[in-house]
A and B are shown apart, each in its own frame.
Chain A
Amino acid sequence: MVSKKPRAGARVLVAGLVIMFSSPAASAQNTHIFDQLAGSWSGRGIIVHSVGANEEAIRCRLRNRSTHASARKLVLAGNCAVAGLVLPMGGWMQQQDDSNRYTASMFQSLARLKTDSFDGTRRGRQLRFHYQGTDAVSKQSISARITIIARGDNRFDIQVRRTDPTTKKLHNVGTIEFSRR
């Protein structure tokens, strides 16, 4: 009867969440995205941390707070958990004026990432972000793709894909479906 250590897949998934929330989702049409993502969210899904690995159940709890003081900002808090492991989520992202540029500082220690700039695009109800960086476990360069699919005011999904360090191919990590708590 044994259990496991934090796995790279879980970290990457969380990193994906970080990237997703820190993306430049703001265009003229969707500056309200932070308001839409504000509130308490409960997420559940299935992930596969690497090619050939078994599926893992994942649960997330997020409490996001949108502020409008000098700039539009979303403060994130919460956790994601895979069996036997809880990964703290916390940080913030901020829109830089109206320039469609965002800065963010979130979860670097958790995701073991050293980056704070992200690029993304919006297509309809989907936000797609791309991350290029170093995998904290394998130390190899990886890329990841995060897709947010808004499903009304009370639901959204996150799909995460990333480069598998072994095969170097894009691998579907999994999807987490969020609903308001």
Chain B
Amino acid sequence: MISGFGAERLGHLTLRFPIVATLIVIVLTAIALAGVPRLQFSGDNIDILRDGSRELAEYDNLLGSFRDFNNDAIVLIRSDRLRTLEGFEKYRDLHFELQFEPAVESILSPFSLVSYDASVGWHSTVPARFEDDAAVAGFLDGISEKLPAFDSLIAPSRNSAVIVIYTSAEAVADSSVRDTMAGFERVLEYFADEDFEVSLAGQPAIRADLINSIVDDLRLLAPIAALFCAVVALGIFRNAVAVILCVLPPVIAVLWFLGALGHAGIKLNFLTNVLPVLLMVIVFADTLHLYLKWEREQDGGDDASAAMGRAVTLVGPACALAMITTAIALASLTLSGNLGLTDLGWIGAVSILASFISVITVLPLGVHWAGRLGFAPDPRSANRLAGISRLAHSAVRHSALIGFSGVVVCLIGLYAHWNIDSRFRLLDYLGTGSQVAESESYIDERYSGTTPLFAIIHLDPSVDMLHETNTDVFYRAKARIDEVFPSTSSYSLDDFAREVEKGGGIPRSSDLDELPEYLTSRFVSTDRTQVLITIFSSASYTASQMHAKLEQLQSMLREEGLSDNVSITGFPILASVVAPRLMDNLRISLLAAVFVSIFVIALAARSWRIGLACLVPNLLPIVAVEIVLWLAGIPLDMSITVALTVSFGIAVDNSIHLSNQYMIDSREKPADQAILSALHQVAPAMVSTTLILVAGLSISLLSTLPVLSVFALVIVLTLIFALVTDIFQLPAYLVTVAKPGRNQPHQG
């Protein structure tokens, strides 16, 4: 029998001291309930790419030295009336109205731009008033030539425009960002009409959107998933008490998890948001295995607690091992080196292991007290599903062929695993149907996105910022950048200097002091030792195209001897360099999860043959999904890879339970009979847990968060493949590896 490393003893202790155990569970649950209202949420999304690399360090330097561009909200205006007096003045009024919002520090729009005139100094670029439509149109037609950067605020087609809102850090913190964005939305609603569409985008809006989705999922999806699982369970058991007994452990496990996060002050983010549903279904699955074993042990009319004691002895270790392998799968995410996934890995692994306590204590307690109240299970309920085991009989007879075909598919799948494309797009992580996501897409197309590329020029601090030494470095670097990104626009100190020269003045660094910091921070660091070139590159570049362009630029800068003076950073760098590296690490962590889990199964079974038998049947569901993705041309993204890793941890559970029962039965029967006997006993639990997991997770397909819906879809697919491989492949492998003693009882 498989070892649970002694964890099942907790179940025996619970049954020995049911009153004390009940009180402990009640107290723990009460403490957890008190923590749930303290639960906090995080809208972090760029932080998912943090991995302590040089690229991230340069990005942090950018945010620290210039301005935290991630606090900029963007208002997108789409209107064909922008060239009219009425439409343009409405745009101006919206600018002013947003300026009055308390969360706004400053605003960048055409109405906050100034031009330089030697006689009067800086003055507004946009006239204070226009007489008629023709005057507006004339101004807009001529301004692009005078001030090219104007087009980064009003599209050249003049049918859309943006307003950049610089908010205070406090206003866009996780705790306040939703209120802040709601305030902006109220202003926008006042201005919106059929011909004047206004919407929010930018990082604060994305963060608010993510938090809203996380909260909605937690409030709606987790309870509905639990309810749906219960309904499916009711269809199988046809007994409400049985359903309640099986629902209690997962519900309590999720409460403990949320309460612990609340008390510990750990925020639920868009990655850890998958854990409540994950815990719900995993605990439900293990609870079912234990419950169905109890049902069989109770069949003789024995005392409920005594039967549960035997079930804990026989299935408890497998339940513990199933939790351990799932925890290993989650912990493997820490190999990604990414801070967000490392958090998910550790929090997930610990919470999965802790949730075993709920399985091994709450169900036995429920059974104990239900038995006291006269509840007796109906073992016929699950036996109805045992018929599926007969389908596996032929598979056992053709074990060699089945085994060989499994290996072939696995090899194809491993080829797909290493060759399938990967992708990282921030938009993929935003809620489907979200107005913010739609606005972000539009801005990506028309304005090269809300997250441009930045070149930081490090100046010689011993001389003036505009000293020849510094301007020489600056203009040589800018020339190379213009060569690599020729069709794009950029904005830098050069624009400031040209504006002053055009107005008849001489650019001096002291002129910068006359400008507000929120504007100078767009191109000069606060300590005046670094200047910034903002490159509005095309958002349509793929990761490899962007990577090639960056390589070309770095090479040219090296030739110019400028590599020490210039750092290139920005979100496109993170997406094209850091994200692919992350994806490669995730591919490795997935395989690591598989092999470590198989090793642990072999260790727990004290049989390398059992471990070996589990390898292909558990690799197959993963690679089958990857083959489907590969053939469909769907690139691997982070959600899919994380889901594949986690779904392996879940899918392996049925293998563990089947192997466990096989080991028990093979003490008295030859391998082929033992596996059929084990299938007959475990198949009902395997089918019912898969049905319930698929039902519960299907609810998550409705999530507006792609991370959760893709996650659920991949797990559902993997679980279905896993059920098929556990019933048709695993028996064949177990019989194959047992061949030396095939007709003799198993000695492991």
Contacts and interface: CB of A to CB of B under 8 A. Distances in A.
A56 B128 contact: yes
Contacts of A57: 92, 96, 111, 124, 128-129
Nearest to B109: A83
A3 B516 contact: yes
A84 B107 contact: yes
A59 B93 CA distance: 8
Interface in A54-94: 54-57, 59, 61, 79, 81, 83-86
Secondary structure at the B interface, as helix, strand, loop or mixed, is mixed
Interface stretch (B74-82, B112-120, B273-281, B590-598): B112-120
Interface stretch (B19-27, B426-434, B468-476, B491-499): B491-499
Contacts of A81: 96, 99-100
Given A81-B96, A86-B99, A2 B128 contact: no
Nearest to A61: B100
B164 to A, nearest CB: 11
Contacts of B515: 2-5
B128 A46 contact: yes
Given A2-B515, A55-B129, A83 B112 contact: yes
B74 to A, nearest CB: 16
B95 interface: yes
A124 interface: no
Interface in A39-59: 46, 52-57, 59
Contacts of B106: 84
Contacts of B123: 4, 53-54
A1 interface: yes
Q: A61, A79, A84 — which one has the most chain B CB atoms within 10 A of its CB?
A: A84
B120 A1 contact: no
Contact of B519 (A3, A53, A56): A3
Given A2-B515, A57-B128, A57-B129, A52 B499 contact: no
B150 A1 contact: yes
Contacts of A55: 127-129
Contacts of A59: 93, 96-97, 99-100
Nearest to A48: B128
B131 interface: no
Interface string A102-125: 000000000000000000000000
Contacts of A56: 124, 128
Contacts, number: 88
B128 A54 contact: yes
Nearest to B522: A1
A54 B152 CA distance: 24
Contacts of A46: 128-129
A56 B129 CA distance: 8
Contacts of B129: 46, 55, 57
A117 to B, nearest CB: 30
B713 interface: no
Interface residues of B, number: 38
A172 to B, nearest CB: 14
B112 A3 contact: yes
Nearest to A78: B100
Interface in B64-109: 92-93, 95-97, 99-100, 104, 106-108
A84 B515 CA distance: 11
B740 to A, nearest CB: 79
A163 to B, nearest CB: 18
B527 interface: no
A1 B147 contact: yes
Contact of B120 (A2, A53, A79, A84): A53
B485 interface: no
B368 to A, nearest CB: 65
A52 B121 CA distance: 11
Contacts of B99: 59, 79, 81, 86
Secondary structure at the A interface, as helix, strand, loop or mixed, is strand
A3 B92 CA distance: 15
Interface string A1-40: 1111100000000000000000000000000000000000
Nearest to B112: A84
Nearest to A86: B99
B454 to A, nearest CB: 16
A56 B128 CA distance: 5
B120 A4 contact: no
A158 B129 CA distance: 19
Interface in A144-172: none
B193 interface: no
Contacts of B7: none
A2 B494 CA distance: 11
Nearest to B512: A2
A53 B557 CA distance: 44
A53 to B, nearest CB: 5
Contacts of B95: 83
Contact of A4 (B119, B124, B522): B124
Nearest to B96: A59
Contacts of A83: 95-96, 111-112, 124, 126
Contact of A1 (B93, B100, B126, B149): B149
B112 to A, nearest CB: 4
B145 interface: no
A85 B96 CA distance: 10
Interface in B120-139: 120, 122-124, 126-129
B514 interface: yes
Given A53-B120, A81-B100, A3 B128 contact: no
A83 B110 CA distance: 9
A54 B123 CA distance: 7
Interface string B601-627: 000000000000000000000000000
A5 B124 CA distance: 11
Nearest to B128: A55
Contacts of B522: 1
A54 B503 CA distance: 14
A86 B97 CA distance: 11
Contact of A84 (B100, B147, B516): B516
A1 B107 contact: no
Q: A54, A56, A81, A83 — which one has the most chain B CB atoms within 10 A of its CB?
A: A83
Given A84-B106, A86-B99, A1 B124 contact: no
A135 to B, nearest CB: 17
A80 to B, nearest CB: 9
Contact of B119 (A5, A52, A79): A52
Contact of B108 (A3, A5, A79): A3
A42 B519 CA distance: 28
A24 B113 CA distance: 39
Contacts of A52: 119-120
Nearest to A79: B100
Contacts of B113: 1-3
A5 B149 contact: no
Contacts of B107: 84
A85 B122 CA distance: 14
A2 B127 CA distance: 15
B128 A1 contact: no
Nearest to B97: A59
A117 B514 CA distance: 33
16 contacts: A1-B113, A1-B147, A1-B149, A1-B495, A2-B496, A3-B108, A3-B515, A4-B515, A5-B516, A54-B120, A55-B128, A57-B111, A57-B128, A81-B96, A83-B124, A84-B114
Which 5 A-B pairs give the minimum distances between C-beta atoms? A55-B128, A84-B112, A1-B149, A59-B96, A54-B123
Interface of A: 1-5, 46, 52-57, 59, 61, 79, 81, 83-86
Interface of B: 92-93, 95-97, 99-100, 104, 106-108, 111-114, 116, 119-120, 122-124, 126-129, 147, 149-150, 152, 491, 495-496, 499, 514-516, 519, 522
Given A59-B100, A85-B516, 15 more contacts: A1-B147, A1-B491, A1-B499, A2-B122, A2-B515, A3-B108, A52-B119, A53-B120, A53-B123, A57-B111, A59-B93, A61-B100, A83-B95, A84-B106, A84-B107
